[in-house]
Amino acid sequence: MDSLWTSEEIAAATGGVAGTGFAAGGIAFDSREVGPGDLFVALAGEATDGHRFLDQAFAQGAAGAIVSADTDHPHVRVPDTFAALEDLARAARARTAARVIGVTGSVGKTSTKEALFAALDRGDPGEAHRSVKSYNNHTGVPLSLARMPAASRFAVLEMGMNHPGELAHLTTLVRPHVALVTTIAPAHTEFFPDESAIADAKGEIFQGLEPGGVAIVPYDSPHRERLIAAARPYAGRIVTFGTDRQADVHPIETMTLRTGGTFVTAKVGDRELSFTIGQPGAHWVSNALAVLAAVDAAGGDLGLAGLALAELGGLPGRGARLLAPVDGGEAIVIDESYNANPASMAATLSVLAGEAGRHVAILGEMRELGAGSPGYHQALADPIEAARVEMALLVGEAMAPLAQALEGRVKFVHVPTAAAALEVLPGMLAPGDAVLVKGSNGVGLSRVVAALAGGMA
């Protein structure tokens, strides 16, 4: 096992006091994710205290822990374990020569981050680092940084927010050479007065740019000029991407393939590149253009990036496809269960529209939309009808306005919870159906996907 951090290095980075010496090859703050040789950071949260799980972490093979209380296990003791995690993140960022790319946006952050990683790893296998899962908040970002091997050549860090000021802090930890905003759309509107305020909050990512860094902005966004203004004081260069030919990175031509993917010839600055996007949907064309802009800005290989985009598969909860056993055959399930907002709902419904077979939509409520929530849910009726959905299973109380809007237009069942959805789902599907499962993560539709994969329907 290669050493990521020694106890002496951790103590130096955090100002802590090391007990018995150890070397760690990985880091976790969730005791359930601790593996052999890992460093366990015992965070004290609102719901529980990581110190309660020290014995469990070491039983699973932890090499050492960062703690703020006495323990007989190998450790580095600090006054505040969360502050120590941030200190370790800063130390990881300071010791690397990697080109660092920060990614944020209302829609497409994780998918774009994964595609960027695949593109950079294709050119330098094993030398690219990324945030895992959707570790993009106040604990996930420092954890992702602290996990970065010192010898990494590239790093792709996802940053999220649901309040003003969050990205302003996270970007000072990441200190990106390239800062990318994927798109601006209604998300977390419960915490913002309007979409312009969301754009301002996303634009905070540019404040952490390294000198001479590159800001990448969506040209097609109505908030383009707002984002450019936010980037201008910090960026050495501003690059735009989008479908408009005035964008610095734009498609010259596109062709939808029978597989559902897209063949694209794109202009990247003064160069042209032809490539295939394996993932279906127009939103993936935008994602791919953003990826090319970021790879180019980071000094990666554009040709290999194009190959990576062709090979990229769907992520669990974000476009992964699976076959669900049903009586007499199988149904195809598009797993978009991780998150949802009005823009991503419309985008994935348009993907469903291109599928063969009967179209079934299992849709969970969209959360954190504030006072506009009823209108946003009601507005899904048109894209559902345009996707030729023959059966909709609506999950969550906030779906009531959509249920009213679908009356007489699309057959549907409305239930309050994912557990209730599991009760009505058996027998609802038939062989050859195309099933979209999408909703905010808190609705719990991942349980529905797991049940479908197990053949319960």
Could you report the per-residue pLDDT of 286-307, keeping only the tens digit for each?
999 999 999 999 999 999 999 9
What is the chain's Cα-based Rg? 23
Pairing assessment for the beta strands 75-77 and 17-18 based on DSSP bridges? antiparallel
- The residue range of the domain holding 184 is 96-311
Residues 357 and 277 in one domain: no
Residues 227 and 184 in one domain: yes
Residues 269 and 379 in one domain: no
Residues 56 and 200 in one domain: no
Model pLDDT, residue 188: 60
Residues 302 and 327 in one domain: no
Over residues 81-119, the pLDDT tens digits come to 999 999 999 999 999 999 999 999 988 888 999 999 999
Q: Do 277 and 119 touch, CB atoms closer than 8 A?
A: no
Whether pTM exceeds 0.75 = yes
How far apart are alpha carbons 308 and 302 in whole angstroms? 10
Over residues 11-23, the pLDDT tens digits come to 999 999 998 999 9
- Per-residue pLDDT band for 457 (boundaries 50, 70, 90) equals low
Residues in the chain: 457
- 90 lies in a domain? no
Residues 225 and 371 in one domain: no
Sign of CA dihedral 237, 175, 340, 332: positive
- Per-residue pLDDT band for 422 (boundaries 50, 70, 90) equals very high
Share of the chain above pLDDT 70, in %: 99
Angle value at C-alpha 103, between 97 and 107, nearest 5 degrees: 165
Both tokens of residue 302?
């554009």
> Of 285, 308, 452, 282, which is closest to residue 383 (Cα–Cα)?
282
| Residue 146, C-beta contacts closer than 8 angstroms, at least 6 positions apart | 5, 27, 85, 88, 89, 91, 92
- 91 lies in a domain? no
- 89 lies in a domain? no
DSSP class of residue 44? B
The label of the residue with tokens 């050479």 reads 177
Number of domains in the chain: 3
Q: Is the pLDDT of residue 427 over 90?
A: no
DSSP class of residue 441? G
DSSP class of residue 238? E
How far apart are alpha carbons 431 and 455 in whole angstroms? 12
Residues 295 and 161 in one domain: yes
DSSP class of residue 80? -
In this prediction, residues 6-14 reach a mean pLDDT of 98
Residue ending a domain, among 286, 311, 336, is: 311
Q: Do 349 and 383 touch, CB atoms closer than 8 A?
A: yes
Residue ending a domain, among 35, 56, 82, is: 82
Q: Is the pLDDT of residue 370 over 80?
A: yes
Enumerate the known binding-site residues for ATP. Answer: 105-111
The label of the residue with tokens 């990247």 reads 268
The label of the residue with tokens 């409520």 reads 365
Residues 290 and 399 in one domain: no
How far apart are alpha carbons 215 and 235 in whole angstroms? 6
Lowest mean pLDDT among 124-133, 311-320, 342-351: 311-320
Sign of CA dihedral 340, 342, 343, 347: positive
> Of 316, 262, 330, which is closest to residue 114 (Cα–Cα)?
316
Enumerate the known binding-site residues. Answer: 105-111
Residues 245 and 188 in one domain: yes
Q: Is the pLDDT of residue 1 over 70?
A: no
Using N-to-C axis directions, what is the helix angle for 195-202 and 224-231, rounded to 10°?
Answer: 30
CATH number of the domain bearing residue 39: 3.40.1390.10
CATH number of the domain bearing residue 444: 3.90.190.20
Residues 167 and 304 in one domain: yes
How far apart are alpha carbons 30 and 397 in whole angstroms? 31
CATH number of the domain bearing residue 229: 3.40.1190.10
Residues 275 and 399 in one domain: no
Residues 324 and 307 in one domain: no
How far apart are alpha carbons 304 and 295 in whole angstroms? 10
